[in-house]
Structure 1
Amino acid sequence: MGRGKELDTKSPPDIEIQESGEIYFFYRPKVEKEEAHSSDDIQRMYIVLRPESGERPVEVKQDVNDSPPKTAEGGHGAQEVNIEKQPLMRLIVMGRKSLPDPSKKRGRPSWGFVELVTTNIQDVKDALKGEEYDTKTRGHRHKPPARPLAEGFYRILRHHHTKDKKDDNKKMHTHLIYKLELPSEPESENQPQEALNVENEASFLIQIKNPDPNQQGRTEFTGLKRKRRAAFPAHLQAQFGKLRYHPADPPDFLNYEGCEFLLIAASSDVQEELGLDLETEEAHDHASCSDLVNTFGVGERGSADALPKGVWV
């Protein structure tokens, strides 16, 4: 499957695309749950962003030697990655196990964090696989593997706007927008997609949380413990100043494990909101065409078939 494309239908002068790539969604059933039938059966929802092009072909990520993936403690940026030539994967965990409801514009934000950043696809596959382990209180436990939920393409874009057309002082925020390629409508049932608010397309404001404990302030989101928060390099940390949140500009913020962010529902109609008509390439309805399945595999028998059908597994 392809990267998709955007058609500029209104020639919006206030939008600049910062990063383009592929987006994948997964869910993991709760421990000891062999199948999921509703959102109540979900332990975690994951998003994988794989940037493939952007304003700058080379992005900076934390040095893997500074903070190995197993520690999840963040790290200082020191490794350059040419996203047009190398795979760069960000494994994201959504705290509420769903996306914000796009029908509730500017509703309650959803908190999430970057759990893993890697150039090795196997690292992501390992993070999504199942696990057998023993506990002192409950004995032997089984953590089921994550299941494929949806796949498509995304854009992170810079949006300059003003509430008053007579006001020349424009403010800037950043959006994460996406459009799904699988499951494809109208053939799919979209059971898990509807339960987890994964619409066919959507736009969210994305804000990066300041990891500085002196600037945390009061918030309804407890967030990560201090030792797990991102340790941004000086040039990124300086952009916060005394602010608690900053736009995802540059997207390099997301290249640090422990990066916390908020997603705020903006619209389920990207064309209406931003003037961009997102188009997928030729529709596919077979798992053999799925980049998600081909790249990450599937954790359980039947997962590959469930993806295009849009059913729980």
Structure 2
Amino acid sequence: MVSTRSKANNHASPSATQAEAETGEKRSQPSSSSPTKNGRSPKKSKKEKEQDVAEKKEFEVAVQGQPTAETRKEENSVGEEGVKDEIAVSKDEGDENKVEDREDEVKREEKKESGEKDSDDEPRHGTLESGHIYFLYRPKVETEEAESLDDISKFHILLIPQSGKHSQGHYHRIIEVGKKKLPDPGAKHQVIWGLVGGVGEDKSTLKDSFGAYTYETKTRGTRHQAAARPAARGHYILHSPRDELADSPDHNRQRDYKTLLAYEITTPTHEDFGQVQKELGIEEKGAVVLQVKDPNAESRGNPRAAGIPRGKRAQYPQHLLDIFHNRRFIPSNPVSLIDYPGAELLIITSPHELHESLGKNGEKVEEDLDHSSAAEKVSMDDALKELGLSKKEFPEDALEGNWA
């Protein structure tokens, strides 16, 4: 029996028409489902659905030259289901990653509390950490607007790591800087003390640290402390240039791990750099050397570091204390040494050109710093938003080079 066709079959492919003529049989359209014994069709996988639609489409193209609108709709529907499945899988994987990140964070905290040694608690060379840096100052009590360094009560460096074990969440360190400014960039050797005043993992705590507040005194009554003013924002690296002596087993000592805090300012721009940044010792691109004091060593002579009571000094686990080897000050390497509130620091000038200070591969390290800084340029509004602050509470005048 030879099959007959309607006018719509004029678009059928010659090969399909010839095949049907030779067999003398009409192709039957594949069934979209196969019922089970109880009369119900089992739920098909995405792959099975795609195969059914493909067979159905192939049949319709062979018979009438193009698939029906219903088949096209079914094909699109299966595709959309696939996309939804992929999104669902991606979301699940993202949730799993968040859980894993949180688990890693908890494990690190447990290690920190128990004193267990972490893999990053060994001194090493190269770039140890990178992230966002802020410089902020706070006016004196009952002073709403600062006009010079004389009107400042405190000067802070805020580090927000974006790499290493603290890259997740909003981990931050607040470093209080003595003399209310950085060492003079032009000095050959100037030392200023610093103190890790706070370490946190929640952006909301920054408002508590830098926001305005009032307090009561017995003699003067209610006193008001104005909010801190951000003076600059940029990208930083903690970098330990390789000392060739450190390659020798006889010379592999902690002092060979000199550590620099190098930074490049992204806000304010070059045009807005003003008196505020100059008086605070902030350069558009600069570096200082960081050293940490043994909390068990008594302060003597000059500098005295922060000179805080023993009970408020950093509570290091034994494996970090062992790195000091009876030295009062050592480079801030590993970075874990500044993860403890109460860590006393020395902030020292780095008089050389930045690439020279960064060691053997200094030019490449500086190029990477330039690249990262260029990619992180943000507006003043974005800078305040990153800190969870508002213009109303935190005037942006300082980010424009003017005292506020």
Quote how far apart the aligned CAs of 1:300 are: 4.5
Quote how far apart the aligned CAs of 1:229 are: 0.6
Please state which structure has a larger fraction of its residues in helix. 2
Distance 1:162 1:248 in 2: 19
- Equivalent position to 1:178, from 263, 266, 283: 263
Quote how far apart the aligned CAs of 1:121 are: 1.2
Indicate the SS of the match to 1:173: coil
Distance 1:282 1:231 in 2: 37
Quote how far apart the aligned CAs of 1:269 are: 3.8
Q: Deviations over 1:224-260 (max 9, x none)?
A: 1111111101111111121001111110111100011
- Equivalent position to 1:85, from 145, 155, 168: 168
1:288 matched to 2:381? The reply is yes
Indicate the SS of the match to 1:105: coil
Q: Is the 8 A contact 2:192 2:347 kept in 1?
A: yes
Which residue identity lines up with residue 357 of structure 2 in the other structure? E
Q: Deviations over 1:51-104 (max 9, x none)?
A: 111xxx32xxxxxxxxxxxxxxxxxxxxxxxx2322211111112111101110
Quote how far apart the aligned CAs of 1:169 are: 5.3
Indicate the SS of the match to 2:323: coil
Distance 2:185 2:319 in 1: 33
Which residue identity lines up with residue 89 of structure 1 in the other structure? H
1:134 matched to 2:222? The reply is no
1:152 matched to 2:234? The reply is yes
Which residue identity lines up with residue 303 of structure 1 in the other structure? P
Distance 2:376 2:194 in 1: 30
- Equivalent position to 1:303, from 395, 399, 403: 395
Distance 2:150 2:390 in 1: 22
Indicate the SS of the match to 2:286: strand
Q: TM-score, structure 1 length as denominator?
A: 0.77
Name the structure 2 match of 1:41: 151
Q: Is the 8 A contact 2:231 2:399 kept in 1?
A: no
1:103 matched to 2:186? The reply is yes
1:118-267 pair list within 5 angstroms: 118-161=200-243, 171-185=256-270, 187-213=271-297, 216-221=299-304, 223-267=307-351
Distance 2:289 2:336 in 1: 16
Name the structure 1 match of 2:355: 271
Distance 1:284 1:175 in 2: 22
Gaps in structure 2 of 5+ consecutive residues? 1-123
Distance 2:314 2:299 in 1: 13
* Structure of greater relative contact order (alpha carbons < 8 Å, 6+ residues apart): 1
Larger CA Rg, structure 1 vs 2: 2
Distance 2:205 2:399 in 1: 25
Name the structure 2 match of 1:75: none
Please state which structure has a larger fraction of its residues in strand. 1
Distance 1:285 1:310 in 2: 16
Q: Deviations over 1:8-60 (max 9, x none)?
A: xxxxxx9610111110111000001010110110000011111111xxx32xx
Distance 1:128 1:299 in 2: 13
Distance 1:283 1:48 in 2: 16
Name the structure 2 match of 1:70: none
Distance change in 2, residues 1:147/1:268 (3 Å): farther
Name the structure 1 match of 2:134: 24
Quote how far apart the aligned CAs of 1:272 are: 4.5
Q: How many residues align?
A: 264
Q: Is the 8 A contact 2:211 2:393 kept in 1?
A: no
Q: Is the 8 A contact 1:103 1:268 kept in 2?
A: no
Which residue identity lines up with residue 157 of structure 1 in the other structure? H
Which residue identity lines up with residue 182 of structure 1 in the other structure? T
Distance change in 2, residues 1:236/1:261 (3 Å): same
Quote how far apart the aligned CAs of 1:284 are: 5.2
Quote how far apart the aligned CAs of 1:307 are: 4.3
Indicate the SS of the match to 1:192: helix
Name the structure 1 match of 2:64: none
Distance 1:154 1:104 in 2: 21
